[in-house]
Amino acid sequence: MLHLPTVQFTEEQEQFRVEVRAFLQDELAKGTFTPKCDSWLSGDDPEFSRLIGQQGWIGLTWPKKYGGQERSTIDRYILTEEFLAVGAPVAAHWFADRQTGPLLLRYGSEEQREFFLPQIVKGECYFGIGLSEPNSGSDLASVTTRAEKVEGGWIVNGQKIWTSNAHLCHYMVTLVRTSPFDGKNKHAGLSQLIIDLQAQGVTIVPIKYLTGEHHYNEVFFDNVFVPDNMVVGEIGNGWAQGLAELAFERSGPERILSTFPLIDELIQELKRQNNSQGLTQASKIVARLWSLRNLSIGVAQLLESGNSEDVSIPAALVKALGTKFEQSIPEITRLIIQTYPSLDADRKIDRFMAQSILHAPGFTIRGGTSEVLYGVVAKGVVAQ
């Protein structure tokens, strides 16, 4: 059963939201960025990431000795909501901020923290996530990329696929098999390595979106040497470490706000047209969004308490229900208002419609398919 906490923002948190919103509106007025849907995955802008780093807004919750601000998970939730609501280009530093930093703080060595975290908070070091492989479907436990022990490190051979922004990243946290596959315990023998994507033997091949944009990649490893000090946590503990990492990946506001710029522009357009019937229909979207947001922010509060064991089921629900919601927005918009979707359209609603339509197929696949997530929920409920 779910026992998610409710969250009331403090006066300081509300003030922080106002501060972030004012900053983004100023940068928008300067023309620093162009808003777009799904900006957390397709809005790459290293200059903007460095600007965010200068604000102290990357690694917001991390210890100050690594460059963080030691603020709360709820503060970071507010920050993320504001970025996504306006469609800001945060993809370059996204995975390092959301996943790699928390992973290293929990499982990494002090050497890794001191080397990587200060670079990440400046918006100057980007990480990819190496999980999925060809022919493995959504079954991560069947990965075949292997690492063999040699003097001073590991030799990696294999392939990862659907790796977001690997062509722009400096490193990738990669799930590899460090022991032979055991059919009776297929989660055993997996480990996480930090691989330098500029290292000899690494080849990155683009997989282009329906929009023509380069976002996903195939990454090949051909006898790539990884030194011992780039092992994250314990050898053989990669599965457990990866599950903890996925709680951060699946439960955030990015799982419900990828198409928020379209929702906002739909409402603005209906107001301009004095379309009260359309606004009535649009209000149903807002009601659904509000419910999903409460679910998502409840998980954020659990993560704040450090109670990660209770997070996997609600995190899976946020991802499964939230991405279905995101996926439905272009169709609902089409039924409410007349649009002419085009990536080059003058009207924002037409551009946002085109972006949403072309990106939506991936919403329920990336970060774990809906079928996998339903399995997580079912197994978790039965276990209780």
Residue 1: pLDDT band (50, 70, 90) is low
- Mean local confidence (pLDDT), 346-371: 90
pLDDT of residue 256: 92
The two three-digit tokens of residue 195, written as one number: 């691989």
- Mean local confidence (pLDDT), 336-354: 95
Residue 309 has pLDDT above 60, yes or no: no
Residue 81 has pLDDT above 60, yes or no: yes
CB 99 within 8 A of CB 303: no
- Mean local confidence (pLDDT), 51-64: 97
- Mean local confidence (pLDDT), 85-114: 95
- pLDDT tens digit sequence for 131-185: 889 877 667 778 899 999 999 999 999 999 989 899 999 999 999 999 988 878 8
Residue 337 has pLDDT above 90, yes or no: yes
CB 131 within 8 A of CB 140: yes
CB 349 within 8 A of CB 205: no
Which residue bears the tokens 């990357």?
A: 58
Handedness of CA 221, 222, 223, 227 (dihedral sign): negative
- pLDDT tens digit sequence for 212-250: 888 889 999 999 999 999 999 999 999 888 876 676 677
The two three-digit tokens of residue 59, written as one number: 């690694």
pLDDT of residue 380: 79
Range 66-74 contact pairs with CB under 8 angstroms and sequence separation of 24 or more: 66/113, 66/114, 66/117, 66/118, 66/121, 67/117, 67/118, 67/120, 67/121, 67/122, 68/117, 68/121, 72/304, 73/300, 73/301, 73/303, 73/304, 74/7, 74/9, 74/13, 74/297, 74/300, 74/301, 74/304
Residue 94: pLDDT band (50, 70, 90) is very high
- Beta-carbon neighbour count of residue 299 at 10 Å? 28
Which residue bears the tokens 């500029």?
A: 198
pLDDT of residue 219: 97
pTM of the model: 0.89
pLDDT of residue 55: 97
